[in-house]
């Protein structure tokens, strides 16, 4: 490595190369779909890095924000004639406001109490989406309008299949998201957040406004989750309240922690593994759930810092 190659730049380059080069090895269009899902999950998980990895807080309800982002894209274009792209922004805005409003009281809580409070928050959102049938279509879900960007690109002479378009578009969004997160890491806010993760009391004594910092991390991660939900809705063009469900919240946390919540690349790696795993495990059919459970347990016991950091450490250890 040359000294000029900062970790931030290295991360972005690795990510960009992966996004750009793997399609050359795709045997069929189905792989674009899996790739796009990894990137969409990767965006949500990057938010979890900021919340869990930087600020040391947990949330068992972030799927609620994904639900808000997803349904903003489904509802706003139909009811207010808003362009789907603006609906993404609207969803992110609503998520940020909600996170701001509930963040202060909720973030005073610690550990499992924070867990149950965020869990309740997520469940409330998913309950509204399930029950307000007139508006959201209830558990059967509703259709989401087309983003229209693919047609626009076609007019400009760039003809992509639906799968290809969503692969590259989600990949680009993930790159931007990762870039912002990495910038935050090196900013004064990021340093304050990491101080807080080390020890809240110590951070407070050196003059960090702990409550404000936690709140910021919570809001930013909510926006990431919301955008991820929006992209999922736009890609699938159909959305059900499952997107806001408890299992999706758990999935986000698991992806981040499994991959390595200390770094953006690690967490995205986790998103990749957990998105691919069910696809690979179809081989095991009936044993799928058992294998998934075992993998989660083993990684957490033996690779505590997450898959990617632990593997890298082992790799380097052998070199030296």
Partner 1 sequence: MSELLQFLFSGVTVGAVYALVALGFTIIYNASDVVNFAQGEFVMLGGMITWFAHEAGLPLPLAALIAILATACLGVAMNKLMIEPARGAPVVSLIIITIGASIFIQGAAQLVFDKQIHTFPAFSGDTPFRIGGATILPQSLWVTGGALVVFVGLWLFFTRTMLGRAVLATSNNRLAAQLVGINTGFVMTLSFALSAAIGALAGVLATPITLTAYSVGIGFALKGFAGAMLGGMGNPKGALVGGFAIGLIEALTAGYLSSQYKDAAAFVVILAVLFFLPQGLFGRKSTDRV
Partner 2 sequence: MKKTLTTTALASLALLSLTSAALAEIKLGASISATGPAAFLGDPEAKTLEMLVEELNAKGGINGEQIELVLYDDGGDPNKARTFATRLVEDDGVAAIIGGTTTGTSMSILAIAEDAEVPFISLAGAIDIIDPVKPFTFKTPHTDRMACQKIFEDMQKRGFTKIGMISGTDGFGASMQAQCKSVVADYGIEIIADETYDPKDADITAQLTKIKNAEGVQAVLNPGFGQGPSIVTRNFKQLEVGLPFYQSHGVASDGFIELAGSDAAEGVRLPGTALLVADLLAEDDVQKPVVTAYKTAFEAKTGTPVSTFGGYAHDAFLIMTDAITRAGSAEPAAIRDAIEATSGLAGTTGVYTFSASDHLGLDLSAFRMLEIKNGTWALVE
Can you tell me which of 285, 301, 315, 317 binds partner 2, judged by CB under 8 A? Answer: 285
Q: Which is nearer to partner 1, 42 or 122 (CB)?
A: 122
What b/e readout covers 128-166, taking b as 16+ CB neighbours within 10 angstroms?
bbbeeeeebbeeebbebbebeebeeeeeeeeebeebbbb
How far apart are the C-alpha atoms of 44 and 185, rounded to whole Å?
A: 17
Q: Which is nearer to partner 1, 160 or 250 (CB)?
A: 250
Site track for partner 1 across 114-133, x = CB under 8 A:
-xxx-xxx-xx--x---x--
Q: Does 162 bind partner 2 (CB under 8 A)?
A: yes
Can you tell me which of 97, 280, 297, 298 binds partner 2, judged by CB under 8 A? Answer: 280
Residue 152 contacts which entry, partner 1, partner 2, none (Cβ below 5-8 A, type-dependent)? none
How far apart are the C-alpha atoms of 314 and 308, rounded to whole Å?
A: 10
Whole-angstrom distance between the N-terminal and C-terminal Cα of the chain? Answer: 16
Q: Between residue 267 and residue 306, which ones bind partner 1 under the rule CB under 8 A?
A: 286-297, 300-301, 304
How far apart are the C-alpha atoms of 232 and 267, rounded to whole Å?
A: 18
Q: Which is nearer to partner 2, 139 or 148 (CB)?
A: 139
CB of 216 to partner 2, least distance (A): 30
Q: Between residue 8 and residue 27, which ones bind partner 2 under the rule CB under 8 A?
A: 25-27
Q: Which is nearer to partner 2, 200 or 288 (CB)?
A: 288
Q: Does 287 bind partner 2 (CB under 8 A)?
A: no
Q: Between residue 131 and residue 170, which ones bind partner 1 under the rule CB under 8 A?
A: 131
Q: Does 60 bind partner 2 (CB under 8 A)?
A: no
Closest by CA to 120, choosing from 283, 249, 5, is 249
CB of 287 to partner 1, least distance (A): 7
Q: Does 213 bind partner 1 (CB under 8 A)?
A: no
List residues near partner 1 by CB under 8 A: 52, 58, 60, 105-106, 108-113, 115-117, 119-121, 123-124, 127, 131, 199-202, 246, 250, 253-254, 257-258, 261, 286-297, 300-301, 304
């Amino acid at each position: 490595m040359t000294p000029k190659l900062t970790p931030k730049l290295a991360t972005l380059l690795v990510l960009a190369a992966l996004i750009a080069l793997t399609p050359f090895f795709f045997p069929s269009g189905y792989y674009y779909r899996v790739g796009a899902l990894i990137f969409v999950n990767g965006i949500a998980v990057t938010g979890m890095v900021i919340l869990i990895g930087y600020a040391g807080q947990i949330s068992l309800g972030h799927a609620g924000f994904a639900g808000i982002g997803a349904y903003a894209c489904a509802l706003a274009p139909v009811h207010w004639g808003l362009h789907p792209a603006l609906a993404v922004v609207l969803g992110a805005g609503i998520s940020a406001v909600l996170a701001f409003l509930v963040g202060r009281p909720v973030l005073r809580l610690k550990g499992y109490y924070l867990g149950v409070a965020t869990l309740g928050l997520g469940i409330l959102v998913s309950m509204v989406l399930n029950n307000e049938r007139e508006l959201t279509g209830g558990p059967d879900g509703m259709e989401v309008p087309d983003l229209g960007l693919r047609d626009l690109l076609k007019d400009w002479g760039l003809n992509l299949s639906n799968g290809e378009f969503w692969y590259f578009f989600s990949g680009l969004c993930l790159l931007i998201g990762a870039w912002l997160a990495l910038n935050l890491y090196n900013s004064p806010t990021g340093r304050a957040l990491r101080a807080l993760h080390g020890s809240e009391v110590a951070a407070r004594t050196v003059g960090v406004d702990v409550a404000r910092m936690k709140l910021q991390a919570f809001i930013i991660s909510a926006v990431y989750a919301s955008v991820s939900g929006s992209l999922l809705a736009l890609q699938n063009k159909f959305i059900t309240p499952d997107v806001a469900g408890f299992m999706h919240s758990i999935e986000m946390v698991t992806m981040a922690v499994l991959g390595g919540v200390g770094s953006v690349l690690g967490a995205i790696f986790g998103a990749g593994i957990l998105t691919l795993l069910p696809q690979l495990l179809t081989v095991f059919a009936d044993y799928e759930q058992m294998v998934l459970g075992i993998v989660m347990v083993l990684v957490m016991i033996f690779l505590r810092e997450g898959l990617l950091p632990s593997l890298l450490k082992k790799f380097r250890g052998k070199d030296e």
